[in-house]
Structures are given as structure tokens and as C-alpha cells.
Amino acid sequence: MEASRAEGSGYLDTSRLSPGEFVGMAAGVVLFLSLFLPWFTTDGSNPNSRLGGATGGDGVNAWHVFSSLDILLTLAATAPFILSWKPGEVTMIVGITAIVLILCNGVILGRPGDTVGIGLGIGYFVGLLAAAGLLAAGYLRQAVYGVDRKPPGVI
């Protein structure tokens, strides 16, 4: 690239980004912001429903409930911004892993806490959709940057 063309484009030339990369960055931001929304809610009619200091129908976000999943999801949210090896493949793997971790910590392995009446909050579903967005973004990036493979023996 010539120096004269590089000076006018700035540090980041967004015209070179594919739609999959924009989807991935948006999904990463939404996943990170979902950690601040209420992931789990307590039952307002049950005085024994307590989680992370919340009771009486209050909700708690991922930072108050989890000890390591919140950090792992933050790292997953940064994947579209920093990962460039085999465009799309690593982002897809991160998206799949985030989906499985979210589903395990709320549906498959049960809800956190030792009390009753714990429900899923809006942040849980937003985080799950954002993780699916990471998966879709990785797929889109792979479709744009994919290398056509030749069968063995073809030059």
C-alpha cells in the first residue's frame, strides 16, 4: 500500500470488513453488555428464594452469580475483535463453546444457588442469542474468506 493511500484511510479501514465481521463485533458487544442485565431472578412470593444477595423478586446479573463463567464470556466477547487465524473457524468454536456454557449454567445442569424459585432473567436469553450471533458471524466470515479445496491429485 502506498504511503499516500495509507494516510487517508486512518488506522482502521472499515471498508475492508465483511458483514460477518460486523455481525461478530455486534454480537461480542451484546454478549458483554448482557453480563450486566439480570440473568437470574428470585421468586417474589417465596421468602426462601435467595441468590447472590437478592430476594423478593429481584434479579442478579452474571457478575454477582458466577465466579468464572462471567470472565470466560467476557473473553468470548472479545473473540471477533482479536482472532484472525483461519477467519471464522475460531469465532465459530468460541460461539459454540459460549452457547454450551450458558445452557449448562441455567438449563442443563440447573440454576445456580441452593434455594428454590430461581428463574431465568432477560440477560440469560440475550447472552444466549449473542453467543449464537458469534456462531453465525464465524460461519459468515468463513463463507467469505473460505479457501476452495481441491480434491487429492488435482493440480
Q: Which residue has the higher pLDDT, 147 or 104?
A: 104
Q: How far apart are CA 88 and CA 83, in angstroms?
A: 9
Q: Whole-prediction pTM value?
A: 0.80
pLDDT of 3: 47
Residue 38, beta-bridge partner list: 61
- In whole angstroms, give the CA distance from residue 80 to residue 88: 9
Asked if residue 34 lies in contact with residue 132, where contact means CB atoms within 8 angstroms, the answer is no
93 vs 148 pLDDT, higher one: 93
| Cβ 60 vs Cβ 38: under 8 Å | yes
Q: What is the pLDDT of residue 102?
A: 95
pLDDT digits (tens, 9 = 90+) for 58-98: 889 999 888 899 999 999 999 888 866 666 788 889 999 99
